[in-house]
Structure 1
Amino acid sequence: MGGDAVDPLLLGQRVVAILETGLRTATYKLATLMALIDHCIENLPERPADVLRVPIADLAHRVLEIYWPQVRPFEGHQLRQSTQSRARILIATNALREAAGVTRTGVSVDIARLRAPAAYQRAIDEITLCLAQQPLHRLQKLPGSSTSDPFLYDDSFLHDHVSRSTLRAHGDAIELKPGVAHGLARLAGLLKPALEIMWVDDVRRMNKFLYAEVPDVAGHLFGRDRTDLAAVREPFKEVYGPHCFYCGTHLPVNNPIDHVLPWSLVGIDGLANLVLACARCNGDKAGALPAVSIMDRVLQRDRAVLEQISSEIQWPTQRDRVVAAACGIYRMQPAGVPTWSGYKQTARLDIGFPLSWT
């Protein structure tokens, strides 16, 4: 069911106003907003004014992915992300890392999920309840106000002690109001960097040892230390040959693995979003959106082959997620925007809904 479209600029102003007024006692609101934005990109409704149902467990998975690299020690310290004595989301995240035997930086949440499915579900259950009891019912409330202004979603059933049974009665989900999903997706490129800046400021405030000269706090928090993709390289070379996906040049031993949909837009490490690349193409493409023709080639790869590689190296393909993210990202781009089509080459975007990808 749809309604009136939302002015994205006004929506963004209201989101920022909520965050900038008052003192945040945890980074949970920021994480929840980031998760909401990514969910909107990957589940974009067909019409701009449509509502969007958002399972809270889906947000929990995305929040878990955000905190996953952040719980690693930084400068010998576990970074505080809350002024409360018990940081439930961080505790749940660390419990999953321990259960899955994660000691390296390069193991993703999805790999941990394959290793320890029961521990993963416990983490999701705990984070789901935490989101419902804390940030989701406070996200739309101005400091000092006893009531919220539900401009994003109805939060009337959420409170500090909301039970699992109450959540089940509401379908374990929130419903974004008409037009909000499109608005948040369109604002992703502006809101996400702003949220990161606020996040870094909050973490510096909560961790007194973080002086201005401590290097790259943002890098530690937001995954600049990417998942180690080395395990993908040899299986890909065996199947596809030792050639750059983009230009076809023969590859050396330690060539890059490229995220086709850039990491800066969506942090998807699944095999369906990865290709072999030469250093020249990898560096030239950087964080650019690939041309539709490239995305077509990527998603036309044999799904059975990717699933076979996935089974052999215990690495998820995430093809459905890649398709959903690609649809959302391309549909949100202005017509004619330049996309990367090869080394020193661009192509103007001209696309309808890509039915061939589904």
Structure 2
Amino acid sequence: MTEPADPLLLGQRVVAILETGLRTATYKLATLMALLEHCVENLPADPAAVLDVPIPELAHRVLGIYWQQVRPFDGHELRQSTVSTARILNATRTLQQAADSRRRGLSVDIARLRAPQDYQRAIDAITLCLAQQPLHRLQKLPGASTSDAFLYDDAFLHDKVSLATLRAHGNAVQLKPGVAHGLARLAGLLKPALEIMWVDDVRRMNKFLDAEVPDVAGHLFGRERTALAVVRGPLKEAFGPHCFYCRTHLPANNPVDHVLPWSMVGIDGLANLVLACARCNGDKSGALPAMGLVDRVLDRDVGVLEELATALQWPTQRSRVVAAARGIYLGQPAGVPTWSGYRRRERLDISFAPWWMGA
């Protein structure tokens, strides 16, 4: 019987792969981030289980990561590769132009609804690029002739692999026993480390980004996340002009908050968005919310959310919120502090797990 991966050893091996040698693009980092998100949202019930990871799903997540990053920074288009053919970035920009997303500030999920054929072409291009480059090379140490396949079997991947070959292998890689659980548990530690490496790589690839240029990290990983202002009014009409957390009456330009924080999982669907006052929004920031708050947000009228989604052409993503919440909380150590309201914290206790923990 194969022993499941040890999370600590798994994390050490991932970091070692990334820290050894010079990265020529940020694609490996993006692929690992996408893998972390996928494991959190598709956590197997058995900690020792394998997990099939569809490469097109990884492509969608990678597209979402680069979606905001391709916008100009201080008038410059940031290089994220040392080679001229930046396939993933080019596919991202092409889709944005087709969906008119750069002008309107639309998210990738809305672009998918508005330009489905262009979206599929982008996914196909990114899928092939992931298979030929980062997935093929992610587990190989510099100078090694073969991979050390500790995450997934990559024997069928190579730099000339075709879409037909990928289809023959189910368009997926299979994570080895226990790897999905290990990566989900490590997500909170690995994601900040990946972001630090990413910022360092982008500074290295763009000579104008010297140490005096601030907020590169903010540009890459969160500033101007998406144009959320368009959902503010409809949410007020549907649920009332009150803060979701403290019920105070809201002014005209109140924040729209991600209940599951953007820093943990980038879900912009209506099921993860609530109205908040500036005080609660600032105090909560990127903190893990108490499970009772997740209960409340998932208890909202699904029919109302779907009506808003249709009217706004904005995805609901409720099933994704459920899956992400389950993965996030199961990966937390017992007793970790959670945010339960303005200047209030409570210790995490999953002994009385809500319904969505077993979904």
Give me the whole-angstrom Cα distance separating, in 2, the residues matched to 1:5 and 1:86.
Answer: 39
Report how far residue 4 of structure 1 moved.
2.3
The answer to whether the aligner puts 1:158 opposite 2:154 as a matched pair is: no
Give me the whole-angstrom Cα distance separating, in 1, the residues matched to 2:184 and 2:103.
Answer: 32
Give the 3 Å change call, closer, same or farther, for CA 356–79 of structure 1 in structure 2: closer
Report how far residue 100 of structure 1 moved.
0.2
- Equivalent runs, 1:86-235 vs 2, <5 Å: 86-104=85-103, 106-235=105-234
Match of 1:250 in 2: 249
Q: What TM-score, normalized to structure 1?
A: 0.97
Report how far residue 345 of structure 1 moved.
1.4
Structure 2 letter corresponding to 1:355: W
Give me the whole-angstrom Cα distance separating, in 2, the residues matched to 1:104 and 1:221.
Answer: 18
Match of 2:273 in 1: 274
Give me the whole-angstrom Cα distance separating, in 2, the residues matched to 1:8 and 1:106.
Answer: 38
The answer to whether the aligner puts 1:236 opposite 2:235 as a matched pair is: yes
Q: Does the CA contact (< 8 Å) of 1:262 and 1:289 recur in 2?
A: yes
Match of 2:52 in 1: 53
Report how far residue 344 of structure 1 moved.
1.5
Report how far residue 117 of structure 1 moved.
0.6
Report how far residue 153 of structure 1 moved.
0.2
Give me the whole-angstrom Cα distance separating, in 2, the residues matched to 1:85 and 1:201.
Answer: 20
**Aligned residue pair count:** 357
Match of 1:6 in 2: 5
Report how far residue 105 of structure 1 moved.
7.0
Structure 2 letter corresponding to 1:281: C
DSSP 3-state at the match of 2:68? coil
Structure 1 letter corresponding to 2:153: D
Structure 2 letter corresponding to 1:320: S
Give me the whole-angstrom Cα distance separating, in 1, the residues matched to 2:261 and 2:149.
Answer: 33
Q: Does the CA contact (< 8 Å) of 1:327 and 1:354 recur in 2?
A: no
- Equivalent runs, 1:291-310 vs 2, <5 Å: 291-310=290-309
Stretches of structure 2 lacking an aligned partner (at least 5 in a row): none
Which aligned segments of 4 or more residues in structure 1 are displaced greater than 3 angstroms? Answer: none
Structure 2 letter corresponding to 1:190: L
DSSP 3-state at the match of 2:69? coil
DSSP 3-state at the match of 2:101? coil
Structure 2 letter corresponding to 1:260: V
Give the 3 Å change call, closer, same or farther, for CA 275–3 of structure 1 in structure 2: farther
Give me the whole-angstrom Cα distance separating, in 1, the residues matched to 2:285 and 2:185.
Answer: 21
Tell me which moved more, 86-95 or 69-78: 69-78
Structure 2 letter corresponding to 1:6: A
DSSP 3-state at the match of 1:261? coil
Cα deviations by residue, 1:236-280 (Å, 9 ceiling, x for unpaired): 111111111111111111111111001111111100001111111
Give me the whole-angstrom Cα distance separating, in 2, the residues matched to 1:234 and 1:280.
Answer: 19
Report how far residue 3 of structure 1 moved.
4.3
Report how far residue 91 of structure 1 moved.
0.5
Cα deviations by residue, 1:63-119 (Å, 9 ceiling, x for unpaired): 000111111111211111111111100010000000001124731100111110100
Match of 1:355 in 2: 355
Q: Does the CA contact (< 8 Å) of 2:271 and 2:305 recur in 1?
A: yes
Q: Does the CA contact (< 8 Å) of 2:132 and 2:158 recur in 1?
A: yes
Give me the whole-angstrom Cα distance separating, in 2, the residues matched to 1:58 and 1:291.
Answer: 29
Q: Does the CA contact (< 8 Å) of 1:71 and 1:78 recur in 2?
A: yes
Give me the whole-angstrom Cα distance separating, in 1, the residues matched to 2:215 and 2:274.
Answer: 28
Q: What TM-score, normalized to structure 2?
A: 0.97
Structure 1 letter corresponding to 2:154: D
DSSP 3-state at the match of 1:72? coil
Structure 2 letter corresponding to 1:39: H
Match of 2:286 in 1: 287
Structure 1 letter corresponding to 2:151: L
Structure 2 letter corresponding to 1:166: T
Report how far residue 160 of structure 1 moved.
0.3
